[in-house]
Structure formats: C-alpha cells, structure tokens
Structure 1
Amino acid sequence: MTGPSNLLGAFLRARRDLVTPEQAGVPVLGVRRVPGLRREEVAMLAGISADYYLRLERGRDRSPSVQVLESLARVLHLDDTTRDHLLGLAGGVPAGKRCRRAPRSS
C-alpha cells in the first residue's frame, strides 16, 4: 500500500532507495537487488525492529514516536527541511516548531 493514503511509507521507501550501503557504512556482500538500503538495514541502523519498519513502510503503523522518526532521519541522511517533512507526514511536530514556554518575568 504505497498510494496517496500512505505518504509516509512512500517517502520512507523513496529515501531508502537514495542511501547507498557505502554511505550508511554497511558492508556490501554479494549481489544486491535494491539500489539503496534494504529495509532490514534501515531498521538495524535506526535501532528498531525490521518488522516495525516494514509496518511503517506499508502503512500499517501510522503513529511512530518522534524518537523513531529522528532515528530514521539520521539513517536516511535527511537535512533539516526533509526531516521536518518526515515528521509532518507522520503527524509529529518538527523540533524547531515545538511550542516553547515564554520565559517568566520576575
């Protein structure tokens, strides 16, 4: 399911295809059928299970934590703008846009 109803999954897949194993520090062993990182490699590097990453990419889990999204952004080499887009797709609030309390005046 990678249609318009699964924008997060489509984004993750597209970005995963752009990161080479060499860029991620993953040893290349044998023939690879995918141009970028495998799902299992992204999951391992992000510190999440391969099953959970698969659920995210397929749209079966649409509420990942900000910590998971930040880890994925790091693994996928996202810049600040693209990271904010990822957070927005998942319904998270980009770090720079979080509400901050105004300083108290004494």
Structure 2
Amino acid sequence: MPRRTADSQGGYVGGTRRRVAGLRREEVALLAGVSPDYYVRLEQGRTAHVSDQVLCAVARALSLSDVETEPPLRESTSSSSPPWG
C-alpha cells in the first residue's frame, strides 16, 4: 500500500532524518490501532480474514480516497453500502 501521509500528519516530527518520505510501518500500525506485526502480515497478505474495521482504519491512516479503499473492501464484504463512509 502506498504511504501518502506525511510524517507530520500522523503527529510524528522525528529527530532523525529519513531516507524515504512518509510513515513507517510502525507508525501506520499505531495510527490504525493494530500491532506492527499484524500490519506487516496484512501488508504481505499473510492474514486469512481481515475485518472491514481494520481495513478502514488502515485506509484512514494512509489517507486513501474512497476509490482507493473500495477494491479491498469489496473483496472482504458482500454489503452494498461502503462501511467506511
């Protein structure tokens, strides 16, 4: 998943210089309310059943648009109305 969110948006004003712009995995996990280990497994596709709540939380942490959020949620739910709205 692309990390478009700026460091300062997540409240991270780090003292170290970063090689790559954006949030680290640990920071995305913190903003989404999941453990860093779970986020890594999610990112690598090593989770069998991911709840809509977790997908929506990660989408919010990454500042994804509704269009970018829709495909993963469509796969995980049969609901006709998007749960992230």
Common topology (TM > 0.5): yes
Please give the TM-score of this superposition, normalised by the length of structure 2. Answer: 0.79
8 Å Cα contact 1:42/1:72 also seen in 2: yes
Is 1:63 the counterpart of 2:62? The answer is: no
Structure 2: gaps (5+ residues): none
Where structure 1 has 5 or more consecutive residues not aligned to the other structure, the ranges are 1-11, 99-106
| Identity rate, percent | 44
From 16, 26, 46, the counterpart of 2:32: 46
Runs of 4+ in 1 over 6 A off after TM superposition: none
Structure possessing the higher relative contact order (Cα contacts under 8 Å, 6 or more residues apart): 2
**Which entry has the higher C-alpha Rg, 1 or 2?**
1
Count of aligned positions: 81
Distance 1:41 1:94 in 2: 30
Question: Following the alignment from structure 1 to structure 2, what is the Cα–Cα distance between the partners of residues 57 and 66?
Answer: 15
RMSD over aligned CA atoms reads: 1.9
